[in-house]
Chains A and B, each alone.
Chain A
Amino acid sequence: MHLVVTFFALYRERAGLRQLALELPKGGTVSELTDTIRHRFPNLAPSNVKIVVAVNSEYADPDLELQEGDEVCLIPPVSGG
């Protein structure tokens, strides 16, 4: 399954890119995605920090199954205001 992942703010700077295209097995979950991302970018977040993911503009549970074409974004801790 083909996915495009968007990085914002701290993650965008640490990864050195805004978007990444990657392949995940069909039925792959959000936590499988973050494992893949961590492996590829070990400097993104310390191991004790959970990487929050939004799928189609909604916060996603780790066990959510991703679908081809989903809009996937990594959300560092927010700091609006």
Chain B
Amino acid sequence: MRTLIELTHEPLNPEQITNQVRQDGNGAVVTFLGSTRDSFEGKRVLKLDYEAYEDMALKKMEEIRQEICAEFGIADLAISHRIGTVDIGQISLVVAVASPHRKEAFYACNKVVDRVKEIVPIWKKEVFEDGSRWVACEDHEFTHTEAATINTDND
């Protein structure tokens, strides 16, 4: 039984995930590893904390799997995402794609990563020495005027 979609608190094993998609009919295997970066705008990141809406995340990952398999005419695609605390330099995402010829595998892999970042309800928080930030939430920053108004309302 293959596990093609996975959310886990445990470290990801890229070789094991890649083996899920290897078949004798496939001449190409592409595996993407997303790993946690040690800096944001010059600030040192100590670790990342991932949070997921797990039921929906698994549903959206499976939707992406089916969508990309149909678009590229492939059958062997696995997506695994780690959640919880992930130390710097660790693997947070593995996408493994196999196809008879290499082009489909390269393009499909790239598109899966794009779609995961677009629609799967997973959030990461970068933790610094002196604070933290939720990645991709910049447009949720309040202007100084708005912040002042809110503080007044609360008084």
Contacts and interface: CB of A to CB of B under 8 A. Distances in A.
Interface string B80-92: 0100000000001
Interface of A: 6, 8-10, 13, 42-43, 45-47, 49, 54, 57-59, 73, 75-81
B92 A8 contact: no
Interface of B: 34, 50-53, 55-57, 59, 81, 92-93, 113, 116-125, 134-137, 139-143, 146, 150, 153
A54 B56 contact: yes
- Which A-B residue pairs are the 7 nearest by beta carbons? A80-B122, A9-B123, A79-B136, A79-B135, A57-B56, A77-B136, A10-B134
Contacts of A81: 34, 92-93, 113, 116-117, 122, 124
A64 B120 CA distance: 21
A49 B139 contact: yes
Contacts of A59: 119
Nearest to B137: A10
B113 to A, nearest CB: 6
B55 A57 contact: yes
Contacts of B122: 78-81
B53 A73 contact: yes
B140 A77 contact: yes
A1 to B, nearest CB: 22
